[in-house]
Amino acid sequence: MEGILLTQNSTFILGPIAKVLGIILNAIFNVVPNIGVAIIIFTVVIYLILLPLTYKQQKFSKLSAKMNPEVQAIQEKYKNKKDQESMARQNQELQEVYKKYGVSPTGSCLQLLIQMPILFALYRVIYNIPAYVDKVFNCLEPLAENIISTVSGISTISALETTTKNFPKYAANGNFTGDTALRSVVDVLNRASSAEWDAIGNIQGLDVNIFNTAREQFEHFNNFLGLNISNSPLYTIKGAFPEHNFILVIGALMIPVLAALTQWINTLFMPSPSSGNDNNTMVSTMKSMNIMMPLMSAVFTFSLPCGLGIYWIAGAVVRSIQQVIINKHIDKLDLDSIIEKNAEKYKNKKREVPSKTVTSSASISTRALGNSSVSKEKEEALNRAKEAYAKNNNPNSIAAKANLVRDYNERNK
């Protein structure tokens, strides 16, 4: 299926990244035609791709932890000095420390700037799978066409809770036709709950065979350990509890519980910023985030579709495993040796002065002296003083020689 553009992300940065990630997910789904399993494999693949960046970031954190005492000492030294000269000296001393340890003040930011768009695009692809996975789109396309062809199809779709905000506007102004309508209806079908599918099945004039075929195939794609991952855990519990289907209730509850638990376990393995002061703002913020993030994960995944909960759980598990491996590898590194090599490399680089720069600086200084009337006058005055002194004093005396040295230094300052 070509040209599925409307439902794909089209922003400047996320759009191209999401398209590439969509190609990967589509390839996985062609091998494993189950959305839940495909999401797990897809998450693992993406985090493996990001592993080199994650490793560099963690290595930078370890080196920063070693470097922080020196940085904090410099900051304490200039704590109450806000004048321009003191600030300049502080920045210079900090740069010396960064170079000695072979790190950059923005070292970890670069990795984050690369990772964040990928992770946001990853969420977009999982949230809107039919836009990127051909089999899922082809499954829903005939039903979407059938809905558009009926008299009350658009009005029924527009009234659904999962419908996008722009959907009723399209329908009202008469522009809701062609590919725009088709792909928007596919989006709604992808996010519809079981109750909303029932409402769609009651549309007057809808072909029952097309509806039953599409629903059966789509629910087969969405079935993960008995859960329909298009439904939220809250919706699943509400439907299963009156029917005393407690296995389904437990399965739905496990999504937010595991999301919170895996997120919390992940924070245990993450390196925390080291500081000599427990009241440090960064340390306090990290401690608060380590408590809030698992709770937020539980709340969000309780009301969002189970598919997103599975993605959160899979991501937290993969990150935890990665972090254990990275921690073991970094713990084996001889950080002192790495720092020593960086320091030696910086010293050698500092001693090296390009010959062109020296020659250029010398020529500039010579020209400046030659063109300066002040320098000429000074030189002539020194020569006259030396001549007068030579006439009236013994040229072989210690004082005369000292004066000559002084005159030489003044002339060549």
Task: Tell me whether residue 364 is in a domain.
Answer: yes
Task: Tell me whether residue 366 is in a domain.
Answer: yes
Place of tokens 């923005």: 106
* pLDDT score of 375: 54
* pLDDT score of 173: 53
* pLDDT score of 9: 60
Task: Tell me whether residue 330 is in a domain.
Answer: no
Domain count, the chain: 1
Phi and psi, residue 73, nearest 5°: -65, -40
Euclidean distance between CA atoms 368 and 240, whole angstroms: 90
Task: Tell me whether residue 190 is in a domain.
Answer: no
Per-residue pLDDT of the chain (413 residues; tens, 9 = 90+): 333 334 566 666 788 888 899 899 999 999 999 999 999 999 899 888 888 888 877 777 777 777 778 888 888 888 877 788 888 888 888 887 777 777 666 655 666 677 788 888 888 888 888 889 999 999 999 999 999 888 888 888 887 766 655 565 555 555 566 777 788 888 888 888 888 888 899 888 899 999 999 999 999 998 888 888 888 898 888 888 888 888 888 998 999 999 999 988 888 877 665 544 444 566 677 777 778 888 888 888 888 888 888 988 998 899 889 888 888 877 776 766 776 776 676 666 655 545 444 444 444 444 444 444 445 655 665 566 556 555 555 555 555 555 655 655 555 55
Q: Which two tokens stand for residue 335?
A: 């950080």
Q: Are 308 and 127 in contact (CB under 8 A)?
A: yes
Place of tokens 């509890």: 241
Q: Which residues contact 186 (CB under 8 A, 6 or more apart)?
A: 7, 130, 137, 140, 141, 144
* pLDDT score of 6: 43
Euclidean distance between CA atoms 218 and 212, whole angstroms: 10
* pLDDT score of 215: 92
Task: Tell me whether residue 163 is in a domain.
Answer: no
In three-state form (DSSP H/G/I as H, E/B as E, the rest C), the secondary structure along the chain is CCCCCCCCCCCCCHHHHHHHHHHHHHHHHHHCCCHHHHHHHHHHHHHHHCHHHHHHHHHHHHHHHHHHHHHHHHHHHCCCCCCHHHHHHHHHHHHHHHHHHCCCCCHHHHHHHHHHHHHHHHHHHHHCHHHCCHHHHHHHHHHHHHHHHCCCHHHHHHCCCCCCCHHHHHHHHCCCCHHHHHHHHHHHHHHCCHHHHHHHHCCCCCCHHHHHHHHHHHHHHHEECCEECCCCHHHHHHHHCCCCCHHHHHHHHHHHHHHHHHHHHHHHHCCCCCCCCCCCHHHHHHHHHHHHHHHHHHHHHHHCCHHHHHHHHHHHHHHHHHHHHHHHHHHHCCHHHHHHHHHHHHHHHHHCCCHHHHHHHHHHHHHHHHCCHHHHHHHHHHHHHHHHHHHHCCCCCHHHHHHHHHHHHHHCC
Name which of 218, 34, 9 is nearest 125 in CA terms: 9
Euclidean distance between CA atoms 76 and 78, whole angstroms: 5
Task: Tell me whether residue 15 is in a domain.
Answer: no
Q: What's the predicted TM-score (pTM) here? A: 0.68
Task: Tell me whether residue 239 is in a domain.
Answer: no
Task: Tell me whether residue 164 is in a domain.
Answer: no
Range of the domain at 388: 355-411
* pLDDT score of 355: 46
* pLDDT score of 40: 92
Q: Which two tokens stand for residue 319?
A: 């990150």
* pLDDT score of 357: 46
* pLDDT score of 279: 47
Euclidean distance between CA atoms 200 and 153, whole angstroms: 8
Hey, how many other C-beta atoms are within 10 angstroms of the C-beta on 65? 15
Euclidean distance between CA atoms 190 and 180, whole angstroms: 16
